[in-house]
Every structure is written in C-alpha cells, then in structure tokens.
C-alpha cells in the first residue's frame, strides 16, 4: 500500500507540474487549475497504475533500459490517446508534447520501478 501511495503521488505530482507549466490542460474536476493540481480522477489512475508495478510490470524492474524505452513510447502514447478522447488538451502541438512526455516517461517509469523495489524489497 505504501508503494501505491508513494509512487502514485510521484506520478500525480509530475502531472500537476506539467499542467502548471502549460504542457497540458484538463477540464474542471474535484480539484481545479486554480489549486495547481491535476484532476482527482488522474490521482486515482496513478494509484491503479502503481498497483501493477510489483506484479504485472515487475519484469521491467530488472530491465531498466527496456523500461525506459517502453515508458517513453507507451507512457507518452497514453496521453496522446487521452487527448483523442478529450480527457486532456495539449496547448502546444501534439508532436512537441508527446516528445516531451516521452523524455519524462523514459525517466519516470524506471524511477517508479526503483521506488517499488526500494520500498517493497526484492521481488520473490
């Protein structure tokens, strides 16, 4: 549970900073932009994603180079798909935003895996 909370908070903080910097924008929600926080539903998505770090995604914990590549590609594509569904808006061009997100996710996914291993101990 600590892993989910800590890793989820890291991801949510990154998204909140990106929102504050104008990289992407969201509609109204429980939290609004005047608070400087991404919507609450995004925090729940982060918690759900981080719940998979030690189970279905644990393969990547021993392959950090691959996790950086997968994070860059898949992580950035999820935001592009969310944009197509209208859940997020890219004030900058989609190409610029996706490239920035790819760079961030190339670091963020391995970092979250490291947090999972550091907090939760070695994998069984």
Q: pLDDT truncated to tens, each residue of the chain (124 aa)? A: 788 999 999 999 999 999 999 998 886 655 555 677 888 889 999 999 999 998 899 899 999 899 999 999 999 999 999 999 988 999 999 999 999 999 999 999 999 999 998 887 665 5
Q: Which residues contact 101 (CB under 8 A, 6 or more apart)?
A: 18, 23, 75, 76, 79
- Predicted TM-score (pTM) above 0.85: yes
Beta bridge partners, 25, equal: 89
Query: Would you state the pLDDT for residue 124?
Result: 52
Measure the CA–CA gap between 12 and 78, rounded to whole angstroms.
Answer: 15
Query: Would you state the pLDDT for residue 10?
Result: 95
Query: Would you state the pLDDT for residue 1?
Result: 76
The domain tally of the chain equals 1
Q: What domain range is 24 assigned to?
A: 2-120
Q: Which residues contact 37 (CB under 8 A, 6 or more apart)?
A: 16, 19, 31
10 Å CB burial of residue 27 (0-12, 13-18, 19+) is exposed
Query: Would you state the pLDDT for residue 26?
Result: 84
Query: Would you state the pLDDT for residue 112?
Result: 94
DSSP run (H or E) holding 19: helix 2-20
């Amino acid at each position: 549970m600590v892993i989910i909370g800590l890793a989820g908070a890291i991801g949510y903080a990154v998204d909140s900073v990106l929102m504050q910097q104008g990289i992407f924008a969201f509609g109204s929600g429980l939290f609004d932009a005047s608070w400087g926080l991404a919507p609450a539903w995004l925090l729940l998505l982060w918690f759900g994603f981080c719940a998979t770090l030690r189970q279905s995604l644990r393969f990547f914990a021993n392959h950090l180079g691959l996790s950086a590549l997968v994070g860059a590609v898949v992580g950035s594509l999820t935001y592009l798909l969310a944009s197509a569904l209208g859940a997020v808006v890219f004030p900058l061009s989609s190409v610029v935003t996706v490239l920035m997100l790819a760079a961030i996710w190339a670091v963020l996914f391995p970092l979250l895996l490291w947090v999972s291993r550091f907090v939760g101990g070695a994998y069984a």
